[in-house]
Amino acid sequence: MKLQPRAGFSYYPGCSLEGMNRAYDKSARLVSKELGIDLAELDDWNCCGASAYMSIRELRAHLLSARNLALAEREKKDLAVVCPACFTNLTKTNQYMGEDPKLRRIVGSALKAANLQYLGTVRVRHLLDVIVNDIGQSDVKAKVTRPLSGLKVAPYYGCQFTRPLGEYDDKEFPMMLDTLLTWLGAEPVSFPLKAKCCGGILMTTNQSVALTLVRSLLDCATQNGAECIATICPLCHMSLEAYQGDVNKEFSTNFKVPMFYFTQLIGLAFGFGRKELGIDQELVSSKTVLEKRLVVT
């Protein structure tokens, strides 16, 4: 079913987009505006609990998400999210509250203490889903002024974009980002590990496992001819970008794979400058690749 956007979205950037992943935030806002997606940052939003809290204090994690949902409901808007972890937490709370009257009661009474209530009317949407399914091929293509012709991209979805709650794509082998990349003129390469784990937070607790995972992702991408990797998840982005040096040291490899948020690639194709998209802030330089493919800015 094709979902129609209501009068704009409340935009939920999530914590990491205010820190390490500012470029994601910047490019997401810019291309959304260009595509006519009205993103108004949700006033007074709070942390979603990230990937860990839900498994430690489930009820409190639901409360964190429920507060954000209640704030969005007050605005009478759906919630647009870019971080898959935020998406998962918000969607989970939304779904569980719909199905479990007991949870609804407990969460409801906690919200009431903060003068809030949540009736369950908000839909949580991932920005990629909104762009591909609401805006669609013709409107996206109409904005492309500088096709990313020849740019070979590994589309990396990460583990949380479709699992467990992303109903908009195949859970095991998503294709949405592949599709979007072709609209931009780029060439998505075959990337069988596209929905595999990057190691996530293991990078801080069990680095050797995480580095092995990152290495296999970089290996798979480059062996299939990718010149760069497109990401959806801020944590994946950081694992693959910030730890490439560690991977090279650990395994005596020589990876120099630039990483792009999918919104940055949209922005490039739309003709925006590198700076406007935060491409000047990357850790692995994308200059050579972009110049080679004549995406000069």
Partner 1 sequence: MAEKIGVYVCHCGTNIAQTVDCKSVVDYASGLPNVAVAREYQYMCSDPGQELIKNDIREVGLTRVVVASCSPLMHEPTFRRAVEEAGLNQFLFQMANIREQCSWISENREMATERAKAIVGAAVKRVIFQEPLEVKKVPVNPDVLVVGGGITGIEAALQIADSGKKVYLVEREPTIGGYMARFDKTFPTLDCAACILTPKMVSVGQHPNIELLSYSDVTGFSGYVGNFTAQIRKRSKYVEEEKCNGCGLCTEKCPVSVPSEFECGLGKRKAIYRPFPQAVPNIPVIDRDHCLYFTKGVCKVCVKFCPRGAIDFDQKETYLDLQVGTAILATGFDLFDASKVKQYGYGRLPNVITSLEFERMSHASGPTAGKILLKNGQMPTSVAILHCIGSRDQNNNEYCSRVCCMYSMKIAHLVHEKTGARVYEFYIDLRAFGKGYEEFYKRVLQEETIFIRGKAAEVTDVPQTPAEKGKLVVVAEDTLLGIVRRIPVDMVVLSVGFEPRKDVADVARIFSITRSQDGFFLEKHPKLAPVSTASDGIFVAGACQGPKDIPDSVAQGAAAAANALSLIDRKEVTLEPTVAVIDEESCSGCKICLGLCPYNAITFDETKKVSVVNDALCKGCGVCVAACPSGAIEQRNFTDDQLLAEVEAVCA
Looking at residue 7, its amino acid is: A
User: Minimum distance between the CB of residue 161 and partner 1, rounded to whole angstroms?
Assistant: 14
User: Minimum distance between the CB of residue 83 and partner 1, rounded to whole angstroms?
Assistant: 24
Which positions ≥6 away from 250 have C-beta within 8 Å? 208, 211, 215
For partner 1, the closer of residues 119 and 173 by Cβ is 173
Looking from the CA of 235 toward its CB, the CA atoms found within 13 Å total 22
Which positions ≥6 away from 131 have C-beta within 8 Å? 31, 35, 37, 140, 180, 266
Backbone angles phi, psi at 291, to 5 degrees: -65, -40
User: Minimum distance between the CB of residue 188 and partner 1, rounded to whole angstroms?
Assistant: 14
* Opening angle at CA 254, ends 239 and 241, nearest 5: 20
d(CA 113, CA 296): 54
User: Minimum distance between the CB of residue 218 and partner 1, rounded to whole angstroms?
Assistant: 12
Which residues make up the interface to partner 1 (CB under 8 A)?
170-173, 192-193, 216, 220
For partner 1, the closer of residues 213 and 290 by Cβ is 213
d(CA 266, CA 263): 5
For partner 1, the closer of residues 143 and 196 by Cβ is 196
Virtual torsion, Cα 193, 194, 196, 202, nearest 10 deg: 110
User: Minimum distance between the CB of residue 178 and partner 1, rounded to whole angstroms?
Assistant: 13
Q: How far is residue 202 CA from its own chain's centroid?
A: 19
For partner 1, the closer of residues 229 and 269 by Cβ is 229
For partner 1, the closer of residues 16 and 162 by Cβ is 162
Give the H or E element holding residue 229.
strand 228-231
User: Minimum distance between the CB of residue 222 and partner 1, rounded to whole angstroms?
Assistant: 12
Looking at residue 136, its amino acid is: G
Note whether 62 and 96 are within 8 A (CB).
yes
For partner 1, the closer of residues 35 and 193 by Cβ is 193
For partner 1, the closer of residues 37 and 193 by Cβ is 193
For partner 1, the closer of residues 43 and 170 by Cβ is 170
Decide: residue 93, CB within 10 A, 0-12 exposed, 13-18 middle, 19+ buried.
buried
Looking at residue 100, its amino acid is: D
User: Minimum distance between the CB of residue 173 and partner 1, rounded to whole angstroms?
Assistant: 3
**Quick one: tokens of 280?**
């000047």
**Quick one: tokens of 200?**
């996530």
User: Minimum distance between the CB of residue 123 and partner 1, rounded to whole angstroms?
Assistant: 22
